[in-house]
Amino acid sequence: MAIDYKRELETAAKSMILVHEPSTLIKMIARMIVHKVKVDHAGILLHDKERDTYVLTVSRGTTGLKIPAGFARMDADNPLIRFFRQHLDKKLFDDGAIIYENARKLLIRNIGPDAKELLKKAMYQMEIFKASVCIPSYFRDDLLGLLLLGSKGRGRKFSQGEIDFFIALASDVAMAIRNAQLFRDLELELQEKQSLFIHITIALAAAIDAKDHYTHGHTARVTALSLEIAKKLSDNNKKRFDDKFFELLHIASLLHDIGKIGVPESILNKEGPLNEEEKKKMQEHPVLGTAILQPIKELKDAILGVKYHHERYDGSGYPEGLEGKQIPLVAAIISAADSFDAMTTDRPYRSRLSKEEAIKEIQMESGKQFDPHVVNALIELYRENKI
């Protein structure tokens, strides 16, 4: 049955759009060529930009004919690479592909000594790979790769329709590979920026701890406990959280007390209970933290945890008196973790509670100060000796 190459090309193009990993993409292409066109082997060499070399990235076909991926490479001075980089394919061949049999006929024509010599050497490279056809893959004028095809089954020749299909496919592959590489580069850049952002956030959190002598390590402990509570809620199927939520909670809990930078040290480090005026000043830290972080648009969602971690489930908290489900879950989680750590930490005016005593206090405040689901998760963590 004849292959509808136009339809195959459209199907391949649609698949390429969805693939953002170059190695997966080219494996898919090579497998499709071997399966559909029945060539005995197919190999794809891809450009390694850092080393300016072309590496056999994937090879498919009959055992014994295919060359292991990564085993072969062609440097920029390789005749086959130079042939295409000098764009002699466009000058000597109508369609740009080197079909070995056609190239051999071309050698007897007057094509110029330099071009003839380079073509001979390029054909020798094709012989090494047992390639009947070599098709370049360009992005603009840059040679991104080469598609090397072995013979067709039972010694049949490639039809012009098949050659046209390979050329169009190579063009689509070049675009898809370039897009995949750009997508991968963007992901790496985002990962690097995210890592830098997290480290800056940790540094800010350390600055807060350094200012408040009595809560050294508080931010790190609240962050760790907040993440454990979220995992427990997720495991219990009360809530299903994705990576984005955990990232948001991580950042919000690291920054939950950043507003204390604007609170006088005389209040933060006072050796005794705060008076009403000092309490009022201390209670400004969620709003101060919000004001500090507001200009950073990437922190838009994390700010909810910073602003509302002192709200109470019964509506008697601050700064806005939110209640119940009005309180963002990220803030509700930080609230319980923050209170647990505060209870179990020594202060100049009181001794710390044991973990058991702190859990009892928090359990008594379930539905009053704290979200009941969050309290249940915290209790489970305590019973499992995870806190």
Per-residue pLDDT of 91-120, as tens digits, reads: 888 778 898 988 998 888 888 889 999 999
* Domain's final residue, options 151, 181, 211: 181
Query: When comparing pLDDT for 59 and 121, which is higher?
Result: 121
- Give the burial class of 305: count Cβ atoms within 10 A of its Cβ; 0-12 exposed, 13-18 middle, 19 or more buried: buried
Q: Rounded to the nearest 5 degrees, what angle is found at the Cα of 228, between the Cα atoms of 384 and 326?
A: 120
* Domain's final residue, options 147, 181, 215: 181
- Output the pLDDT for position 216: 65
Same domain, 126 and 56: yes
Domain CATH code at residue 113: 3.30.450.40
CA dist 25 → 48, 53, 61, 85, 131 (Å): 16, 20, 17, 23, 21
* Contact (Cβ atoms closer than 8 angstroms) between residue 220 and residue 239: no
Evaluated on CA atoms 271, 253, 315, 291, the torsion sign reads positive
Upper half-sphere CA count for residue 265 (Cβ side, 13 Å): 7
- Output the pLDDT for position 384: 93
Same domain, 231 and 202: yes
Q: In what order do the strands lie in the sheet with 98-99?
A: 73-75, 53-61, 41-48, 142-149, 133-139, 98-99
Residue whose pair of structure tokens reads 């056809």 in the numeric block: 133
CA dist 343 → 75, 338, 354, 362 (Å): 66, 9, 8, 10
- Give the burial class of 299: count Cβ atoms within 10 A of its Cβ; 0-12 exposed, 13-18 middle, 19 or more buried: buried
Rounded to whole angstroms, the Cα distance separating 59 from 71 reads 10
Residue whose pair of structure tokens reads 């379930």 in the numeric block: 366
Which tokens belong to 189? 């850049």
Upper half-sphere CA count for residue 29 (Cβ side, 13 Å): 36
Give mean pLDDT, residues 360-378: 95
Least confident of 133-137, 297-301, 334-338: 297-301
Gyration radius of the chain's alpha carbons = 33
pLDDT tens figures, 157-202 = 888 888 887 787 777 777 677 766 666 776 777 677 777 677 777 7
Same domain, 350 and 280: yes
Same domain, 238 and 334: yes
Rounded to whole angstroms, the Cα distance separating 148 from 130 reads 9
* Domain's final residue, options 125, 154, 181: 181
Give mean pLDDT, residues 320-343: 95
pLDDT-based confidence at 348, cuts 50/70/90? low
* The total number of structural domains that make up the chain: 2
Expressed as residue numbers, the domain containing 248 is 189-383
Domain CATH code at residue 329: 1.10.3210.10
User: How much is the pTM?
Assistant: 0.54
Same domain, 45 and 161: yes
CA dist 145 → 13, 45, 167, 308 (Å): 17, 5, 12, 55
Same domain, 151 and 196: no
Same domain, 274 and 319: yes
Residue 328: is its pLDDT beyond 90?
yes
pLDDT tens figures, 222-269 = 999 999 999 999 988 756 788 889 989 998 998 898 888 878 877 877
Same domain, 168 and 274: no
Same domain, 270 and 300: yes
Residue 76: is its pLDDT beyond 80?
yes
Same domain, 73 and 28: yes
β-partners of residue 178 are none
Same domain, 219 and 84: no
Same domain, 51 and 139: yes
| Collapsed DSSP state (helix, strand, coil) of residue 230 | helix
Chain centroid to Cα 313, Å, comes to 36
